[in-house]
Amino acid sequence: MLHALIGKLFSFNLVLYIPIFFFLLNFIISIKILQLFGLNFQKSIYLSLYIHFLTPIFLSSLDYSEVTLTNTFLLLTLFYYEKQKRNKVDINLFQNLLCGLLIAVTFQLRPEVTISVIILFFVGFLFNFKQFSSLRMYVSIGFFFLIFTIGACYLNYTIYHHPLGMRGLNTIQDSQILMLNQYIQNWISDIWGSDFKIGIIKAYPILFFLALFGIFRSGITKTYNHYLISGITFLLLLPILSPYRAGVDIMGLRYYESGVYLLSFGSLAIIFKDLNITSRISKIYLVVLILFVLVSSYFGYKSNLRAIKHWAGAAKVSNDFSERITQLNPEIIIHRGLSTTYLMGVSYLKVPQIVIYSQKDWDDVEKTLVNRKLKRVLFLYWEGNHLVNDEFPSKIWKSTFDINFNLQTNRFWMRKEVSLIHFKGLLLEQEL
């Protein structure tokens, strides 16, 4: 919606800079959060640079979606949460209200982010439940979150006829229709990789080593960090809690970004805060850490290049596709199932589009087209539907994507076969 509004009011060229703007804003907020953990300004800059350019966080800067915006909401939540934790006497209701509002908004935009915050708060509460000030803070944030979520649920119900809205409902439905072996397969695929996914450990091994060194340092210092615990928990649980995330190969790792933030903040705060390098053991520890970071950084760099190539290739195909749509100049576009909808790009804002799933759907739509005197219709289909169907629940794939009926039209349509990249189409023109 934000992209569409800016595109309509100003220029579609500005849409390119929306994710970049929020990405840079997240870089700045991360510096402030690292400073709250006791790291100096210079260290915080270097570590924030590393987090944003050599971990999966970088992927969101390539994406024209709401990911960088939801990451901003996450980081603001963490910032106000940390500020409030340090106030042992008074409750700042405004900061808690902001936290509750931000968490509620992220749940509507991307439930995975809210899951990471809930895990963080739960772990933090377990370690501090005896402190009355902490209890008041969690209750206060939870109260405001509940109020805003109830309001959002009412709005969702009026629009989508379900209180959880489109995002929440899809997440629950996807989880409910999976079998145990599919959960295990998804977990292995996301963590270690498969034919269609690179795997977070293979793509960004730095996360594994940060967790390892963070745990090791915690054992030495006899301290804990609930960010580290929450980040590891989230990364391990996400493939089960939200099994389908619309991203093959490396791009599916975008959905791990909230957990990556938690893991990075927790491990880096433990590793670098009050690090004493005067002893021989500490020097060996630091040398080993640097070696692992350098090697892991190479893999992170290669993974980012891989993502850039994927995104550049997809952007070229999408631009060519949009140009072809402009040449055909249809008054309306009709899709046979959802397989052809993912490349439409800016054409969604220029040409009305609907999806049909059967010949009967077409018969009903055809009457409306004739009554409204629409004379130029583009019917799109994908022979064979070569999307990677492992990324869709089988039930949803069969009912909404794998649609293969042959369109039968009435005699008053002139039919012309057209090609659009790897799609096929019928240009239908009404005979006068």
Determine the residue type at 414: M
Q: Dump pLDDT digits (tens) for 51-97.
A: 999 999 998 888 767 889 999 999 999 999 998 887 766 678 888 99
CA distance 18 to 1: 12
- pLDDT in the model for residue 44: 95
CB 58 within 8 A of CB 21: no
- pLDDT in the model for residue 313: 82
Determine the residue type at 123: V
- pLDDT in the model for residue 30: 97
Write out the two tokens for 352. Answer: 């009305």
CA distance 383 to 20: 36
CB 259 within 8 A of CB 208: no
Q: What's the chain's Rg over C-alpha atoms?
A: 25
Q: Dump pLDDT digits (tens) for 297-343.
A: 999 999 999 888 888 887 788 888 888 888 899 999 999 888 888 77
Burial of 80 (0-12, 13-18, 19+ CB in 10 A): buried
- pLDDT in the model for residue 177: 54
Q: Is the dihedral of CA 13, 18, 19, 24 positive or negative?
A: positive
Q: What is the 3-state secondary structure (H, E, C) of the chain?
A: CHHHHHHHHCCHHHHHHHHHHHHHHHHHHHHHHHHHCCCCHHHHHHHHHHHHHCCHHHHHHHCCCCHHHHHHHHHHHHHHHHHHHCCCCCCCHHHHHHHHHHHHHHHHHCHHHHHHHHHHHHHHHHHHCCCHHHHHHHHHHHHHHHHHHHHHHHHHHHHHCCCCHHHHHHHHHHHHCCCHHHHHHHHHHHHCCCCCECCHHHHCCHHHHHHHHHHHHHHHHCCCCHHHHHHHHHHHHHHHHCCCCCCCECHHHHHHHHHHHHHHHHHHHHHHCCCCCCCHHHHHHHHHHHHHHHHHHHHHHHHHHHHHHHHHHHHHHHHHHHHHHHHHCCCEEEEECCCCCCCCHHHHHCCCEEEECCHHHHHHHHHHHHHCCCCEEEEEECCCCCCCHHHCCHHHHHHHHCCCCCCCCCCCEEEEEEEECCEEEEEEEECC
CA distance 96 to 135: 13
Q: What's CA 94's distance to the chain center, in Å?
A: 28
Low-confidence ranges of the chain (pLDDT < 70): 1-13, 64, 88-90, 129-130, 132-133, 160, 166-183, 243-249, 275-277, 385-397, 432
Distances (CA, A) of 46 to 39, 155, 251: 11, 42, 25
- pLDDT in the model for residue 156: 81
- 9-31: buried (b, 16+ CB within 10 Å) or exposed (e) per residue? eeeeeebeebbeebbebbbebbb
- pLDDT in the model for residue 349: 75
- pLDDT in the model for residue 3: 57
- pLDDT in the model for residue 249: 64
Cross-strand partners of 376: 429
Going by C-alpha positions, the residue among 251, 222, 219, 238 that lies closest to residue 315 is 251
- pLDDT in the model for residue 180: 59
Name the packing angle between helices 132-160 and 165-176 (round to 10°).
100
- pLDDT in the model for residue 173: 60
CA distance 43 to 377: 59
- pLDDT in the model for residue 58: 92
CB 396 within 8 A of CB 178: no
Burial of 161 (0-12, 13-18, 19+ CB in 10 A): exposed
- pLDDT in the model for residue 378: 92
CA distance 325 to 35: 50
> Residue 329 contacts by C-beta under 8 Å, 6 or more apart in sequence?
376
| Angle 99-267-307 from CA coordinates, rounded to 5° | 85
**The whole model's pTM is what?**
0.84
